[in-house]
Amino acid sequence: MKLKFLENINAYGEHAIRLNDFNKAEASKFLAIIKDLVSGPKQIIQLSSYDFIVPVNCTLTLRIAETDEGIITEDNKEFFCDLTPDAYEEMILLIEPFCLKETDAYRFLYELDNPIDFLFSAGREK
């Protein structure tokens, strides 16, 4: 699973953090991370601390927040995803199908008015 920052993905100058190049086993591991964040004592999880997630050009820290802000950054290298537990629960539902079978599908993991989207894409970069 690769973690990468993508600049200017559309005509509106929006960006994305993309998790891609994974199989259903790795999708299941990522799902477990999100479930641990929501139900466990940790309020912050650094994704690059997991050996199956390879940071390409950035880091991403998931944080429990009181409001849904989405992904934020000050330097386009270190990113933070600030969402409420309810938003992470919705993310769990979006990730679950990737854990059931191998696929090349993709999904955006939240719907917020934020310039940085969170793209979950099983396929490899071409």
**Neighbouring C-beta atoms of residue 70, cutoff 10 Å:** 21
CA distance 21 to 24: 10
Q: Where are the domains of the chain?
A: 2-7+16-121
Token pair belonging to 61:
């820290």
List the structure tokens of 13.
């100058």
Where do we find the tokens 């139900």?
A: 39
pTM of the model: 0.93
pLDDT in tens, 6-52: 999 988 889 999 999 999 999 999 999 999 999 988 899 999 999 99
Using pLDDT thresholds of 50, 70 and 90, give the confidence band for residue 120.
Answer: very high
DSSP three-state, residue 46: strand
Return the amino acid letter for 16: A
CATH topology of domain 2-7+16-121: Gyrase A; domain 2 (3.30.1360)
